[in-house]
Chain A
Amino acid sequence: MLSAGILLTACGPLGLRRQPAAPLGLGAETREQPALSGDGRLLASLVERGGRTTVLLQDRRSGQVLPLRHLRRQQPHSSPSLSWTGRYLAVLVQQGPHRQAVIEDRASGRLQPLFLPAGREPQRLSLAPDGRRLAVELLDNGQRRVELFDLSALLEPDLAPGQLQSGGGPGVAP
């Protein structure tokens, strides 16, 4: 049974408030590679399902598991990353002998495979909260290297309330 996350302790040296990730009610199980939506409402993480590493999307407060239409296969999954509201979930899936970057659009129900230049194997992803850019850690001739890609022609922006569609959006230098 799913239940809400519980606030464990009040204050530490930094004034921290700790909260365990919303439990699944399945006892102690391993959970890796957490990713929050930009607004902090959703949490994606990797869990073991039937011996296969699978991405799980949850409402952070209630623990409710949210359906992912296309991501029940092609395990192992790795490196989940969410947009601002969690509309988009970027993740690496296994496609034969290779890793493939995909984005599930939870609003339209579509799966968007993302094709990298040939010969480059993705290791890790980070989707910008507005969905306009993707950072990919690639393995290229045995060396890890981060490259940036433009998604603006592929995805509608997932904007924070009040965020302008044109211009730089949030992130004014302090």
Chain B
Amino acid sequence: MSRRRCWPLLALPLLALPLLLSGCFGGNLRPLPGLNQRLAQLGASHDPQLSGRWLVLIAGRQGRQQVQLLDLERGLPVPLPGLNRADSQPISVAVDQQGERLVVVRQRDDRTELVLHRRSLMASEAIPIEPAGIPRGINLSADGRLLAVEVSRGGLWQVDLLQLP
């Protein structure tokens, strides 16, 4: 067989290699239909964080966005008395693995504030940003004691780590 005629035969395995590799090492994500149906009922949603049996996210309809906490074992949203306020818009949210501590960045009037909410107390308190800055993204360790905050200061994004009491 001439060299020119062999080319397609040689090229075929090379072209198929990426597909074979993706088949071996990749994975089609398997949706969780029951929980996804529950999530769809909340309307548009964003900024999810998973911890333990909990999923926290921001969701709502017609521009009215709220922090929502879902118990994934029961497949149900959990009430959050004392957290969502009519005069504020949540930007990002995190939860610990006990579902007890929630940290929220929210816009209230013309301020962006960082708050720690304890579910058992139904109470929130502000976490000061020092030196002053504007918080955006947050992430919480599973025990809820260590908080990483993305803060804008003087045009630069920085990461602060805070040990919570």
Contact = CB atoms under 8 A, between A and B. Distances in A.
The yes or no verdict on A and B being binding partners is yes
B52 A170 contact: yes
B34 to A, nearest CB: 9
B27 interface: yes
A168 B73 CA distance: 7
Interface centre among B40, B100, B146, B149, by most A CB within 10 Å?
B146
B contact face: mostly helix, strand, loop, or mixed: strand
A172 B98 contact: yes
Chain B interface size, as a band, is 35 or more
B62 interface: no
A153 B27 CA distance: 9
Contact of B164 (A14, A43, A147, A149): A14
A171 B159 contact: no
A162 interface: no
Nearest to B140: A36
Interface string B63-83: 000000001110000000000
A45 B148 CA distance: 10
Contact of B51 (A15, A123, A129): A129
A26 to B, nearest CB: 13
Interface string B89-125: 0000000011110000000000000001001100001
Interface in A7-23: 9, 12-21
A40 interface: yes
A107 to B, nearest CB: 15
Interface string B139-155: 11111011011100000
Which one of B29, B39, B40, B99 has the highest number of Cβ atoms from chain A below 10 Å of its Cβ? Answer: B29
A33 interface: yes
Size range of the chain A interface in the assembly:
35 or more
B145 A133 contact: no
Contacts of A127: 50
Contact of B160 (A20, A60, A84): A20
27 contacts: A13-B128, A16-B128, A18-B163, A19-B160, A21-B148, A28-B156, A32-B157, A34-B138, A36-B140, A37-B141, A38-B97, A38-B141, A38-B142, A40-B146, A112-B25, A115-B28, A123-B46, A129-B142, A134-B29, A135-B55, A136-B48, A147-B36, A148-B32, A151-B27, A168-B53, A170-B142, A171-B97
Interface of A: 5, 9, 12-21, 28-40, 43, 45, 60, 84, 101, 110-117, 123-124, 126-129, 133-137, 143-151, 153-154, 160, 168-174
